[in-house]
Amino acid sequence: MNVEHASARLIDGYARGGTDLAADELWALEAHLEGCRVCRDRLSDAVTAGAPAVAALTEAVWSDLEHHIATAPQAPPRRLLARLSAWTTPAMTPWLAMVLAVTLLALLLDLTGPGSGVGSGSGRVSLMLLLAPVLPVCGVAASWSRALDPAYELTSSTPRAGLQLVLRRTASVLAVVIPALLAGGWATGVTAAQWLLPCLAFTSATLALGGVIGVSRAAAVLVAAWAAVVVAPTLATSRTAVALGTDGMPVWGAVLALGVAVVIVRRGAYTTPGAHR
Amino acid sequence: MKPTVSRADLAPTAYAWQIRATGLKVRAGRKRMAVDGLDLSLGTGVHGLLGPNGAGKTTLIRALATVLRPAGGELELLGQAVGALGEHRALRRRIGYLPQEFGYYKRFTVREFVEYMAWLKEVPTADIPGAVQRAVERVGLADRADERMKALSGGMVRRAGIAQAIVNDPAVLLLDEPTVGLDPAQRLRLRELLQELGTDTCVVVSTHLVEDVAAACTDVVLFAEGRLVFQGTPGELAAAGGPEHDGDSPLERGYSALLVDPARTRGAW
Protein backbone atom coordinates (compact mmCIF):
# COMPACT_ATOMS: atom_id res chain seq x y z
CA MET A 1 0.00 0.00 0.00
CA ASN A 2 1.28 3.43 -0.93
CA VAL A 3 1.09 5.55 2.21
CA GLU A 4 1.31 9.29 1.87
CA HIS A 5 3.38 10.89 4.62
CA ALA A 6 3.15 14.37 6.02
CA SER A 7 5.24 17.04 4.26
CA ALA A 8 8.36 18.51 5.85
CA ARG A 9 6.59 21.86 6.07
CA LEU A 10 3.81 20.38 8.21
CA ILE A 11 6.20 18.47 10.44
CA ASP A 12 8.45 21.48 11.00
CA GLY A 13 5.46 23.71 11.65
CA TYR A 14 4.06 21.25 14.18
CA ALA A 15 7.41 20.98 15.94
CA ARG A 16 7.42 24.77 16.37
CA GLY A 17 4.04 24.62 18.09
CA GLY A 18 1.68 24.42 15.15
CA THR A 19 0.60 28.08 15.35
CA ASP A 20 1.22 28.72 11.65
CA LEU A 21 -0.79 25.67 10.52
CA ALA A 22 -4.47 25.79 9.60
CA ALA A 23 -6.82 24.00 12.00
CA ASP A 24 -7.79 21.31 9.49
CA GLU A 25 -4.13 20.65 8.60
CA LEU A 26 -3.27 20.38 12.26
CA TRP A 27 -6.12 17.96 12.87
CA ALA A 28 -5.21 15.79 9.88
CA LEU A 29 -1.55 15.80 10.88
CA GLU A 30 -2.28 14.71 14.44
CA ALA A 31 -4.58 11.94 13.21
CA HIS A 32 -1.81 10.78 10.87
CA LEU A 33 0.90 10.97 13.53
CA GLU A 34 -1.10 8.73 15.84
CA GLY A 35 -0.90 5.89 13.37
CA CYS A 36 2.41 6.52 11.59
CA ARG A 37 5.69 5.66 13.21
CA VAL A 38 7.79 7.06 10.35
CA CYS A 39 6.30 10.52 10.72
CA ARG A 40 6.59 10.39 14.52
CA ASP A 41 10.29 9.71 14.12
CA ARG A 42 10.56 12.61 11.65
CA LEU A 43 8.75 14.84 14.11
CA SER A 44 11.12 13.79 16.84
CA ASP A 45 14.12 14.71 14.63
CA ALA A 46 12.50 18.02 13.73
CA VAL A 47 11.97 18.80 17.41
CA THR A 48 15.59 18.04 18.35
CA ALA A 49 16.87 20.08 15.41
CA GLY A 50 14.54 23.07 15.36
CA ALA A 51 12.81 23.46 18.72
CA PRO A 52 15.26 23.19 21.63
CA ALA A 53 12.64 24.47 24.09
CA VAL A 54 10.26 21.59 23.28
CA ALA A 55 13.13 19.11 23.31
CA ALA A 56 14.17 20.30 26.76
CA LEU A 57 10.58 19.99 27.97
CA THR A 58 10.16 16.40 26.77
CA GLU A 59 13.56 15.58 28.24
CA ALA A 60 12.44 16.97 31.60
CA VAL A 61 9.16 15.02 31.46
CA TRP A 62 11.06 11.83 30.66
CA SER A 63 13.57 12.22 33.45
CA ASP A 64 10.68 12.91 35.80
CA LEU A 65 8.76 9.86 34.62
CA GLU A 66 11.73 7.51 34.58
CA HIS A 67 11.93 7.61 38.33
CA HIS A 68 8.24 6.63 38.60
CA ILE A 69 8.49 3.95 35.95
CA ALA A 70 11.45 2.38 37.70
CA THR A 71 9.69 2.22 41.05
CA ALA A 72 6.21 1.28 39.74
CA PRO A 73 5.31 -2.27 40.69
CA GLN A 74 5.41 -4.53 37.67
CA ALA A 75 2.58 -6.97 37.25
CA PRO A 76 4.19 -10.36 37.90
CA PRO A 77 3.36 -13.25 35.58
CA ARG A 78 0.59 -15.60 36.67
CA ARG A 79 1.66 -18.37 38.98
CA LEU A 80 1.00 -22.08 38.82
CA LEU A 81 -1.86 -21.95 41.33
CA ALA A 82 -3.66 -19.37 39.19
CA ARG A 83 -3.24 -21.52 36.09
CA LEU A 84 -4.40 -24.61 37.95
CA SER A 85 -7.53 -22.80 39.12
CA ALA A 86 -8.77 -22.86 35.54
CA TRP A 87 -9.33 -26.59 36.05
CA THR A 88 -10.01 -27.07 39.72
CA THR A 89 -11.02 -24.89 42.64
CA PRO A 90 -9.54 -24.98 46.13
CA ALA A 91 -13.01 -26.05 47.30
CA MET A 92 -12.55 -29.33 45.45
CA THR A 93 -9.18 -30.20 47.00
CA PRO A 94 -10.48 -31.81 50.21
CA TRP A 95 -12.99 -33.82 48.20
CA LEU A 96 -10.36 -35.06 45.83
CA ALA A 97 -8.19 -35.98 48.81
CA MET A 98 -11.12 -37.87 50.31
CA VAL A 99 -11.72 -39.75 47.06
CA LEU A 100 -8.06 -40.78 46.98
CA ALA A 101 -8.18 -41.85 50.62
CA VAL A 102 -11.26 -43.97 50.04
CA THR A 103 -9.65 -45.59 47.01
CA LEU A 104 -6.59 -46.41 49.05
CA LEU A 105 -8.68 -47.81 51.87
CA ALA A 106 -10.74 -49.97 49.52
CA LEU A 107 -7.55 -51.19 47.94
CA LEU A 108 -6.05 -52.10 51.31
CA LEU A 109 -9.18 -53.99 52.33
CA ASP A 110 -9.22 -55.81 49.02
CA LEU A 111 -5.59 -56.79 49.34
CA THR A 112 -5.44 -57.73 52.98
CA GLY A 113 -8.07 -60.35 52.93
CA PRO A 114 -11.59 -61.30 53.64
CA GLY A 115 -12.67 -58.01 55.19
CA SER A 116 -15.05 -57.20 52.42
CA GLY A 117 -14.68 -60.19 50.21
CA VAL A 118 -16.46 -62.92 52.02
CA GLY A 119 -15.64 -66.24 50.43
CA SER A 120 -13.18 -66.62 47.64
CA GLY A 121 -12.85 -67.05 43.92
CA SER A 122 -15.76 -65.74 41.87
CA GLY A 123 -17.79 -65.12 45.00
CA ARG A 124 -15.25 -62.63 46.31
CA VAL A 125 -16.45 -59.02 46.15
CA SER A 126 -13.98 -56.31 45.37
CA LEU A 127 -14.74 -53.25 47.46
CA MET A 128 -12.88 -51.10 44.98
CA LEU A 129 -15.07 -52.33 42.17
CA LEU A 130 -18.14 -51.48 44.24
CA LEU A 131 -16.96 -47.96 44.98
CA ALA A 132 -15.34 -47.06 41.65
CA PRO A 133 -18.48 -45.76 39.92
CA VAL A 134 -19.41 -43.32 42.66
CA LEU A 135 -15.94 -42.01 43.50
CA PRO A 136 -15.70 -39.39 40.73
CA VAL A 137 -19.31 -38.37 41.37
CA CYS A 138 -18.33 -37.05 44.81
CA GLY A 139 -15.64 -34.86 43.28
CA VAL A 140 -17.97 -33.61 40.56
CA ALA A 141 -20.59 -32.75 43.18
CA ALA A 142 -18.09 -30.53 44.98
CA SER A 143 -17.06 -28.84 41.77
CA TRP A 144 -20.30 -27.00 41.16
CA SER A 145 -22.15 -26.61 44.41
CA ARG A 146 -23.59 -23.59 46.15
CA ALA A 147 -23.02 -25.11 49.57
CA LEU A 148 -19.44 -26.29 49.09
CA ASP A 149 -17.94 -23.63 46.83
CA PRO A 150 -17.57 -20.25 48.58
CA ALA A 151 -17.04 -18.40 45.30
CA TYR A 152 -20.17 -19.89 43.78
CA GLU A 153 -22.12 -16.63 43.60
CA LEU A 154 -19.23 -14.79 41.95
CA THR A 155 -18.54 -17.64 39.55
CA SER A 156 -22.12 -17.99 38.44
CA SER A 157 -22.24 -14.39 37.22
CA THR A 158 -19.25 -14.75 34.92
CA PRO A 159 -19.24 -15.54 31.19
CA ARG A 160 -17.26 -18.73 31.73
CA ALA A 161 -19.90 -20.19 34.02
CA GLY A 162 -21.64 -22.95 32.15
CA LEU A 163 -21.09 -26.33 30.65
CA GLN A 164 -17.50 -25.62 29.66
CA LEU A 165 -16.48 -24.83 33.23
CA VAL A 166 -18.40 -27.83 34.60
CA LEU A 167 -16.67 -30.08 32.08
CA ARG A 168 -13.23 -28.65 32.91
CA ARG A 169 -13.79 -29.41 36.59
CA THR A 170 -15.19 -32.86 35.81
CA ALA A 171 -12.13 -33.57 33.70
CA SER A 172 -9.84 -32.60 36.55
CA VAL A 173 -11.74 -34.93 38.90
CA LEU A 174 -11.42 -37.78 36.44
CA ALA A 175 -7.74 -36.97 35.95
CA VAL A 176 -7.21 -37.63 39.66
CA VAL A 177 -9.60 -40.55 40.14
CA ILE A 178 -8.87 -42.68 37.09
CA PRO A 179 -5.10 -43.02 37.60
CA ALA A 180 -5.75 -43.95 41.24
CA LEU A 181 -8.27 -46.58 40.21
CA LEU A 182 -5.98 -47.83 37.46
CA ALA A 183 -3.20 -48.36 39.97
CA GLY A 184 -5.63 -50.04 42.35
CA GLY A 185 -7.09 -52.22 39.61
CA TRP A 186 -3.63 -53.28 38.55
CA ALA A 187 -2.81 -54.25 42.13
CA THR A 188 -6.00 -56.25 42.72
CA GLY A 189 -6.36 -57.71 39.25
CA VAL A 190 -9.69 -56.11 38.42
CA THR A 191 -9.83 -55.32 34.70
CA ALA A 192 -10.15 -51.67 33.78
CA ALA A 193 -13.18 -52.22 31.55
CA GLN A 194 -15.14 -53.51 34.53
CA TRP A 195 -15.00 -50.25 36.44
CA LEU A 196 -14.11 -47.63 33.85
CA LEU A 197 -17.40 -47.83 31.99
CA PRO A 198 -19.65 -47.62 35.10
CA CYS A 199 -17.41 -44.84 36.39
CA LEU A 200 -17.83 -42.74 33.23
CA ALA A 201 -21.52 -43.63 32.97
CA PHE A 202 -22.13 -42.39 36.49
CA THR A 203 -20.23 -39.17 35.82
CA SER A 204 -22.20 -38.42 32.68
CA ALA A 205 -25.47 -39.28 34.41
CA THR A 206 -24.60 -36.87 37.25
CA LEU A 207 -24.01 -34.07 34.79
CA ALA A 208 -27.17 -34.89 32.83
CA LEU A 209 -29.35 -35.01 35.92
CA GLY A 210 -27.44 -32.01 37.31
CA GLY A 211 -28.75 -29.85 34.47
CA VAL A 212 -32.23 -30.40 35.91
CA ILE A 213 -31.87 -30.49 39.69
CA GLY A 214 -28.36 -29.16 40.29
CA VAL A 215 -25.11 -31.11 40.14
CA SER A 216 -24.62 -31.70 43.86
CA ARG A 217 -28.21 -32.86 44.32
CA ALA A 218 -27.92 -35.15 41.31
CA ALA A 219 -24.75 -36.65 42.79
CA ALA A 220 -26.50 -37.32 46.10
CA VAL A 221 -29.44 -39.00 44.35
CA LEU A 222 -27.20 -41.21 42.23
CA VAL A 223 -24.93 -42.22 45.11
CA ALA A 224 -27.98 -43.15 47.18
CA ALA A 225 -29.46 -45.12 44.30
CA TRP A 226 -26.15 -46.95 43.78
CA ALA A 227 -25.90 -47.79 47.46
CA ALA A 228 -29.46 -49.13 47.59
CA VAL A 229 -29.53 -51.02 44.31
CA VAL A 230 -26.02 -52.45 44.04
CA VAL A 231 -23.85 -52.00 47.14
CA ALA A 232 -26.34 -53.18 49.78
CA PRO A 233 -27.46 -56.37 47.96
CA THR A 234 -23.88 -57.20 47.05
CA LEU A 235 -22.65 -56.89 50.60
CA ALA A 236 -25.68 -58.79 51.89
CA THR A 237 -25.32 -61.72 49.51
CA SER A 238 -21.53 -61.52 49.12
CA ARG A 239 -21.82 -61.86 45.39
CA THR A 240 -20.77 -59.39 42.77
CA ALA A 241 -23.93 -57.85 41.36
CA VAL A 242 -24.92 -58.58 37.80
CA ALA A 243 -24.55 -54.89 37.08
CA LEU A 244 -20.81 -55.13 37.55
CA GLY A 245 -20.32 -58.33 35.59
CA THR A 246 -19.59 -58.47 31.90
CA ASP A 247 -23.32 -58.72 31.18
CA GLY A 248 -23.84 -55.22 32.54
CA MET A 249 -21.40 -53.60 30.16
CA PRO A 250 -23.82 -52.79 27.29
CA VAL A 251 -26.17 -51.19 29.81
CA TRP A 252 -23.39 -48.98 31.19
CA GLY A 253 -22.40 -48.06 27.66
CA ALA A 254 -25.98 -47.05 26.93
CA VAL A 255 -26.17 -44.97 30.13
CA LEU A 256 -22.93 -43.22 29.20
CA ALA A 257 -24.16 -42.43 25.69
CA LEU A 258 -27.53 -41.25 26.99
CA GLY A 259 -25.90 -39.05 29.63
CA VAL A 260 -23.56 -37.44 27.12
CA ALA A 261 -26.45 -36.87 24.70
CA VAL A 262 -28.60 -35.22 27.39
CA VAL A 263 -25.70 -32.99 28.45
CA ILE A 264 -25.12 -31.86 24.87
CA VAL A 265 -28.80 -31.21 24.20
CA ARG A 266 -29.28 -29.28 27.44
CA ARG A 267 -25.92 -27.44 27.40
CA GLY A 268 -27.63 -24.07 27.98
CA ALA A 269 -29.03 -25.25 31.31
CA TYR A 270 -25.64 -25.01 33.04
CA THR A 271 -25.23 -21.27 32.52
CA THR A 272 -27.24 -20.22 35.53
CA PRO A 273 -26.99 -23.25 37.75
CA GLY A 274 -29.02 -21.58 40.49
CA ALA A 275 -31.97 -20.85 38.24
CA HIS A 276 -33.74 -24.15 38.74
CA ARG A 277 -33.74 -23.85 42.49
CA MET B 1 1.81 0.56 24.68
CA LYS B 2 -1.88 -0.11 24.62
CA PRO B 3 -4.03 2.68 23.19
CA THR B 4 -6.23 4.06 25.92
CA VAL B 5 -9.13 4.89 23.63
CA SER B 6 -10.15 2.60 20.83
CA ARG B 7 -12.64 3.02 18.04
CA ALA B 8 -15.03 0.69 19.85
CA ASP B 9 -15.05 2.98 22.89
CA LEU B 10 -16.11 5.94 20.78
CA ALA B 11 -18.72 4.15 18.71
CA PRO B 12 -22.29 5.18 19.45
CA THR B 13 -24.33 2.57 21.29
CA ALA B 14 -27.44 0.97 19.87
CA TYR B 15 -29.34 1.40 23.13
CA ALA B 16 -30.60 4.38 25.07
CA TRP B 17 -30.21 2.90 28.55
CA GLN B 18 -27.66 0.47 29.90
CA ILE B 19 -30.36 -1.04 32.10
CA ARG B 20 -34.01 -1.02 31.17
CA ALA B 21 -36.67 -2.97 33.04
CA THR B 22 -40.37 -3.02 32.20
CA GLY B 23 -42.77 -4.72 34.57
CA LEU B 24 -39.85 -6.80 35.84
CA LYS B 25 -40.66 -9.59 38.28
CA VAL B 26 -38.00 -11.63 40.04
CA ARG B 27 -38.58 -14.39 42.54
CA ALA B 28 -36.55 -14.71 45.73
CA GLY B 29 -36.67 -18.32 46.80
CA ARG B 30 -39.54 -20.42 45.60
CA LYS B 31 -42.57 -18.28 46.33
CA ARG B 32 -41.91 -14.68 47.30
CA MET B 33 -41.84 -12.15 44.48
CA ALA B 34 -39.09 -9.83 45.69
CA VAL B 35 -39.16 -7.58 42.64
CA ASP B 36 -42.74 -7.14 41.55
CA GLY B 37 -43.52 -5.08 38.50
CA LEU B 38 -40.51 -2.78 38.38
CA ASP B 39 -40.14 -0.14 35.67
CA LEU B 40 -36.67 1.32 35.64
CA SER B 41 -34.30 2.91 33.16
CA LEU B 42 -30.71 3.60 34.11
CA GLY B 43 -28.03 5.21 31.98
CA THR B 44 -24.44 6.30 32.55
CA GLY B 45 -23.80 7.59 36.05
CA VAL B 46 -23.83 6.41 39.65
CA HIS B 47 -27.24 5.22 40.74
CA GLY B 48 -27.89 4.74 44.42
CA LEU B 49 -30.37 1.97 45.06
CA LEU B 50 -31.96 2.86 48.36
CA GLY B 51 -34.62 1.07 50.30
CA PRO B 52 -35.53 -0.53 53.62
CA ASN B 53 -34.32 -4.03 54.50
CA GLY B 54 -36.19 -6.65 52.51
CA ALA B 55 -37.13 -4.21 49.76
CA GLY B 56 -35.67 -6.56 47.17
CA LYS B 57 -32.46 -4.66 46.47
CA THR B 58 -30.25 -7.75 46.50
CA THR B 59 -32.69 -9.74 44.39
CA LEU B 60 -32.81 -6.93 41.83
CA ILE B 61 -29.01 -6.71 41.69
CA ARG B 62 -28.72 -10.47 41.28
CA ALA B 63 -31.21 -10.34 38.41
CA LEU B 64 -29.21 -7.50 36.83
CA ALA B 65 -26.08 -9.64 37.19
CA THR B 66 -27.93 -12.41 35.25
CA VAL B 67 -27.57 -14.76 38.22
CA LEU B 68 -31.34 -14.88 38.71
CA ARG B 69 -33.66 -15.26 35.80
CA PRO B 70 -36.61 -12.85 35.65
CA ALA B 71 -39.95 -14.49 36.43
CA GLY B 72 -41.85 -11.99 34.34
CA GLY B 73 -41.65 -8.69 32.52
CA GLU B 74 -38.74 -7.54 30.43
CA LEU B 75 -35.14 -6.82 31.29
CA GLU B 76 -32.72 -5.33 28.81
CA LEU B 77 -29.03 -4.95 29.61
CA LEU B 78 -26.85 -3.04 27.16
CA GLY B 79 -29.62 -3.39 24.61
CA GLN B 80 -29.78 -7.16 24.93
CA ALA B 81 -32.85 -8.92 26.29
CA VAL B 82 -32.17 -11.08 29.34
CA GLY B 83 -34.43 -13.91 30.35
CA ALA B 84 -34.51 -16.42 27.56
CA LEU B 85 -32.73 -19.66 28.32
CA GLY B 86 -29.28 -19.49 26.91
CA GLU B 87 -25.87 -18.11 27.52
CA HIS B 88 -25.24 -14.44 28.01
CA ARG B 89 -21.50 -14.75 27.51
CA ALA B 90 -20.95 -11.56 25.54
CA LEU B 91 -23.17 -9.64 27.94
CA ARG B 92 -21.59 -11.06 31.07
CA ARG B 93 -18.14 -10.03 29.86
CA ARG B 94 -19.27 -6.43 30.21
CA ILE B 95 -20.81 -6.74 33.67
CA GLY B 96 -19.01 -6.27 36.96
CA TYR B 97 -20.70 -7.65 40.07
CA LEU B 98 -19.91 -7.49 43.76
CA PRO B 99 -22.34 -9.64 45.75
CA GLN B 100 -23.38 -8.59 49.24
CA GLU B 101 -21.72 -11.57 50.89
CA PHE B 102 -19.13 -12.66 48.45
CA GLY B 103 -17.24 -15.86 48.97
CA TYR B 104 -13.65 -16.32 47.97
CA TYR B 105 -10.89 -18.87 48.34
CA LYS B 106 -8.95 -18.07 51.49
CA ARG B 107 -5.71 -19.53 50.19
CA PHE B 108 -5.58 -17.21 47.19
CA THR B 109 -3.63 -13.99 47.35
CA VAL B 110 -5.45 -10.83 46.33
CA ARG B 111 -3.69 -10.95 42.97
CA GLU B 112 -4.53 -14.61 42.38
CA PHE B 113 -8.15 -13.98 43.32
CA VAL B 114 -8.52 -11.03 40.94
CA GLU B 115 -6.61 -12.94 38.24
CA TYR B 116 -8.91 -15.91 38.65
CA MET B 117 -11.96 -13.66 38.33
CA ALA B 118 -10.42 -11.98 35.26
CA TRP B 119 -9.95 -15.41 33.74
CA LEU B 120 -13.58 -16.32 34.51
CA LYS B 121 -14.64 -13.06 32.89
CA GLU B 122 -12.75 -14.01 29.73
CA VAL B 123 -10.30 -11.11 29.84
CA PRO B 124 -7.72 -11.97 27.11
CA THR B 125 -4.87 -13.92 28.74
CA ALA B 126 -2.20 -11.45 27.63
CA ASP B 127 -4.09 -8.56 29.26
CA ILE B 128 -4.75 -10.27 32.60
CA PRO B 129 -1.60 -9.25 34.57
CA GLY B 130 -1.96 -5.60 33.52
CA ALA B 131 -5.70 -5.46 34.12
CA VAL B 132 -5.29 -7.05 37.55
CA GLN B 133 -2.53 -4.64 38.56
CA ARG B 134 -4.66 -1.68 37.46
CA ALA B 135 -7.75 -2.90 39.34
CA VAL B 136 -5.76 -3.59 42.50
CA GLU B 137 -4.16 -0.14 42.34
CA ARG B 138 -7.50 1.55 41.85
CA VAL B 139 -8.85 0.13 45.09
CA GLY B 140 -5.60 0.92 46.92
CA LEU B 141 -4.49 -2.64 47.57
CA ALA B 142 -1.30 -2.57 45.46
CA ASP B 143 0.95 -2.93 48.51
CA ARG B 144 -1.07 -5.90 49.85
CA ALA B 145 -1.61 -7.59 46.49
CA ASP B 146 0.53 -10.60 47.30
CA GLU B 147 -0.95 -11.31 50.70
CA ARG B 148 -3.40 -14.12 51.17
CA MET B 149 -7.08 -13.24 51.35
CA LYS B 150 -7.43 -14.80 54.80
CA ALA B 151 -4.86 -12.34 56.18
CA LEU B 152 -6.89 -9.29 55.13
CA SER B 153 -9.26 -7.22 57.22
CA GLY B 154 -12.95 -7.03 56.32
CA GLY B 155 -12.56 -3.68 54.57
CA MET B 156 -9.66 -4.94 52.49
CA VAL B 157 -11.57 -8.06 51.47
CA ARG B 158 -14.38 -5.81 50.30
CA ARG B 159 -11.92 -3.71 48.33
CA ALA B 160 -10.54 -6.88 46.75
CA GLY B 161 -14.16 -7.63 45.83
CA ILE B 162 -14.47 -4.24 44.18
CA ALA B 163 -11.20 -4.88 42.33
CA GLN B 164 -12.55 -8.12 40.86
CA ALA B 165 -15.74 -6.30 39.85
CA ILE B 166 -13.87 -3.64 37.86
CA VAL B 167 -11.11 -5.86 36.46
CA ASN B 168 -12.91 -6.38 33.14
CA ASP B 169 -13.70 -2.65 32.69
CA PRO B 170 -17.44 -3.31 32.82
CA ALA B 171 -20.07 -1.19 31.12
CA VAL B 172 -22.52 -2.08 33.90
CA LEU B 173 -21.12 -2.25 37.41
CA LEU B 174 -23.33 -3.69 40.15
CA LEU B 175 -22.20 -3.23 43.74
CA ASP B 176 -24.32 -4.66 46.52
CA GLU B 177 -23.57 -2.84 49.77
CA PRO B 178 -19.95 -1.98 48.89
CA THR B 179 -19.44 0.35 51.85
CA VAL B 180 -20.13 -2.24 54.55
CA GLY B 181 -17.02 -2.79 56.65
CA LEU B 182 -15.12 0.19 55.26
CA ASP B 183 -13.73 2.79 57.63
CA PRO B 184 -14.60 6.47 56.99
CA ALA B 185 -11.40 7.17 55.03
CA GLN B 186 -11.89 4.13 52.82
CA ARG B 187 -15.51 5.10 52.34
CA LEU B 188 -14.45 8.52 51.05
CA ARG B 189 -11.97 6.88 48.70
CA LEU B 190 -14.68 4.53 47.43
CA ARG B 191 -16.99 7.45 46.74
CA GLU B 192 -14.25 9.09 44.67
CA LEU B 193 -13.74 5.85 42.76
CA LEU B 194 -17.48 5.56 42.15
CA GLN B 195 -17.65 9.10 40.80
CA GLU B 196 -14.69 8.38 38.55
CA LEU B 197 -16.27 5.16 37.26
CA GLY B 198 -19.64 6.83 36.86
CA THR B 199 -18.38 9.15 34.11
CA ASP B 200 -18.49 6.39 31.51
CA THR B 201 -20.12 3.42 33.25
CA CYS B 202 -23.57 2.63 34.54
CA VAL B 203 -22.86 2.02 38.23
CA VAL B 204 -25.64 0.66 40.46
CA VAL B 205 -24.83 0.83 44.16
CA SER B 206 -27.23 -0.69 46.61
CA THR B 207 -26.98 0.79 50.06
CA HIS B 208 -29.01 1.56 53.12
CA LEU B 209 -26.87 4.53 54.06
CA VAL B 210 -28.44 7.77 52.91
CA GLU B 211 -25.17 9.70 53.24
CA ASP B 212 -23.44 7.44 50.72
CA VAL B 213 -26.08 8.42 48.21
CA ALA B 214 -25.74 12.12 48.92
CA ALA B 215 -21.98 12.04 48.43
CA ALA B 216 -21.42 9.73 45.49
CA CYS B 217 -24.58 9.30 43.45
CA THR B 218 -25.87 11.29 40.52
CA ASP B 219 -29.23 9.60 40.77
CA VAL B 220 -31.31 8.00 43.53
CA VAL B 221 -33.60 5.04 43.02
CA LEU B 222 -35.89 4.50 45.97
CA PHE B 223 -37.20 1.02 46.10
CA ALA B 224 -39.73 -0.56 48.48
CA GLU B 225 -41.55 -3.87 48.42
CA GLY B 226 -40.33 -4.71 44.96
CA ARG B 227 -41.52 -1.52 43.34
CA LEU B 228 -40.04 1.80 42.31
CA VAL B 229 -41.09 4.56 44.70
CA PHE B 230 -38.94 7.40 43.48
CA GLN B 231 -36.25 8.13 40.94
CA GLY B 232 -34.45 11.45 40.75
CA THR B 233 -31.42 13.41 41.86
CA PRO B 234 -30.37 13.53 45.52
CA GLY B 235 -31.59 17.14 45.50
CA GLU B 236 -35.08 16.10 44.47
CA LEU B 237 -35.13 13.45 47.18
CA ALA B 238 -34.19 16.08 49.76
CA ALA B 239 -36.91 18.38 48.42
CA ALA B 240 -39.56 15.69 48.97
CA GLY B 241 -39.18 15.88 52.75
CA GLY B 242 -40.35 18.67 54.98
CA PRO B 243 -39.62 19.57 58.61
CA GLU B 244 -42.54 17.40 59.75
CA HIS B 245 -40.82 14.20 58.58
CA ASP B 246 -38.39 12.08 60.57
CA GLY B 247 -34.70 12.31 59.93
CA ASP B 248 -31.56 14.23 60.75
CA SER B 249 -30.68 15.44 57.27
CA PRO B 250 -32.75 16.70 54.33
CA LEU B 251 -32.11 13.43 52.49
CA GLU B 252 -33.29 11.35 55.44
CA ARG B 253 -36.42 13.46 55.74
CA GLY B 254 -37.06 13.00 52.01
CA TYR B 255 -36.51 9.27 52.43
CA SER B 256 -39.02 8.97 55.27
CA ALA B 257 -41.52 11.23 53.48
CA LEU B 258 -41.55 8.95 50.44
CA LEU B 259 -41.50 5.69 52.34
CA VAL B 260 -43.82 6.59 55.18
CA ASP B 261 -46.90 4.80 53.87
CA PRO B 262 -45.62 1.32 53.04
CA ALA B 263 -43.27 1.24 56.02
CA ARG B 264 -45.67 2.41 58.72
CA THR B 265 -48.64 0.23 57.84
CA ARG B 266 -46.55 -2.83 58.61
CA GLY B 267 -45.80 -1.62 62.11
CA ALA B 268 -42.70 -2.55 64.06
CA TRP B 269 -40.06 -0.21 62.57
Give A-chain residues touching B128 at CB under 8 angstroms. 78
- What pLDDT, on a 0 to 100 scale, did the predictor assign at position A242? 66
Can you tell me the mean pLDDT for B140-157? Answer: 89
pLDDT, tens digit, for every residue of B11-59? 777 788 899 999 998 888 778 888 888 899 999 999 999 888 888 889 9
Give A-chain residues touching B86 at CB under 8 angstroms. 268, 271
pLDDT surpasses 50 at A132? yes
- What pLDDT, on a 0 to 100 scale, did the predictor assign at position B243? 81
pLDDT, tens digit, for every residue of B202-225? 999 998 788 888 888 899 998 888
Domains of chain B by residue range: 14-227
pLDDT surpasses 90 at B161? yes
- What pLDDT, on a 0 to 100 scale, did the predictor assign at position B205? 93
Q: Tell me how close the Cα of B65 comes to any Cα of chain A, in angstroms.
A: 6
Instruction: Flag whether residue B99 sits within 8 Å of chain A, measured between CB atoms.
Output: yes
Percent of chain A's residues with pLDDT above 90: 6
pLDDT surpasses 50 at A116? no
- What pLDDT, on a 0 to 100 scale, did the predictor assign at position B204? 94
- What pLDDT, on a 0 to 100 scale, did the predictor assign at position B19? 92
Q: Going by CATH, does the domain composed of B14-227 fall within 3.40.50.300? A: yes
- What pLDDT, on a 0 to 100 scale, did the predictor assign at position B95? 93
| pTM of the model as a whole | 0.79
CB distance B116 to A101 below 8 Å: no
- What pLDDT, on a 0 to 100 scale, did the predictor assign at position B132? 92
Domains of chain A by residue range: 8-71, 80-270
Q: Which of A82, A89, A162 sits opposite B112 (nearest CB)?
A: A82
pLDDT, tens digit, for every residue of B166-177? 999 999 999 998
Mean confidence (pLDDT) of chain A:
81
Decide if A85 and B88 are in contact by the 8 Å CB cutoff: no
- What pLDDT, on a 0 to 100 scale, did the predictor assign at position B162? 93
pLDDT surpasses 80 at A270? no
Can you tell me the mean pLDDT for B101-114? Answer: 88
Q: Which of A153, A155, A160 sits opposite B122 (nearest CB)?
A: A160
pLDDT surpasses 50 at B62? yes
Mutation target for B interface from A74, A84, A156, A158: give the one with most B CBs within 10 A. A158
Can you tell me the mean pLDDT for B90-99? Answer: 92
Can you tell me the mean pLDDT for A140-144? Answer: 80
Q: Tell me how close the Cα of A76 comes to any Cα of chain B, in angstroms.
A: 7
Give B-chain residues touching A158 at CB under 8 angstroms. 92, 117, 120-122
Helix boundaries (H) for chain A: 8-15, 23-35, 37-50, 52-71, 80-84, 93-112, 127-131, 135-143, 152-155, 163-188, 192-213, 215-226, 232-237, 249-265
